Amino acid sequence: MRASSTDLPATIEISLSVNGRRHRLSVRPWDTLLDVLRDTLDLTGTKKGCDQGQCGACTVLVDGARINSCLALAVMKDGAEVTTVEGLAKDGELHPIQRAFITHDAFQCGYCTPGQICSAVALIAEGHAGTREEIREMMSGNLCRCGAYANIIDAIEQVMGEQAKGGARGASRPDERTAR
């Protein structure tokens, strides 16, 4: 027996912790995490690029792992911890990767920057990249139409170097729950 559209609930109640703040939300079953972040919670740092998971502009951290929020249904993330670019700074201090992006001019138009930054934070936490080539490969899901790739890699290398010396905040690796 096939369910009709009238059998589906118009909205579903979910709970998300976004940037450290718990939200009870009523979402439609087809709402993406991206749309909930931008349209419901007014967190517009996360960008809608291709809306097909191919550009990375919508990258956010969910339970410490980077995801394309345009591909994730909000209802599937019920109970999750979500960090957007707006949630990376702490007590008015930019995250080390945000500071490094500024230092290395790792952006031009800025549209891809929030997704690049969130992806870079996760890449460093994952601890798998050790060379420029590995960084380039592991950041390949985040496109920059302006071509600021060399500067983005420079910024990531700077923070990785600082963390290796114990000098940058956020050096901890994700635990096994959140590791890919």
Instruction: Dump pLDDT digits (tens) for 44-68.
Output: 999 999 999 999 999 999 999 999 9
Largest distance between two CA atoms of the chain: 62
* Same domain as 154, residue 107: yes
- pTM of the model as a whole: 0.87
Task: Let me know if residue 19 belongs to a domain.
Answer: yes
Is residue 82 within 8 A of residue 62, CB to CB? The reply is yes
| Domain coverage including residue 147 | 96-164
Position 9 confidence tier, pLDDT thresholds 50, 70, 90: confident
pLDDT of 173 over the 60 cut: no
pLDDT single digits (tens) 102-158? 999 999 999 999 999 999 999 999 999 999 999 999 999 999 999 999 999 999 999
Q: Which of 88, 1, 81 is closest to 33 using CA atoms?
A: 81
- Given this model, what pLDDT does residue 168 score? 65
Which domain CATH number covers 16? 3.10.20.30
Distance between start and end Cα atoms, the chain: 38
Buried b (16+ CB within 10 A) or exposed e, 11-29: ebebebebbeeeeebebee
- Does residue 42 belong to any structural domain of this protein? yes
Q: What is the pLDDT of residue 151?
A: 96
Q: Are 157 and 138 in contact (CB under 8 A)?
A: no
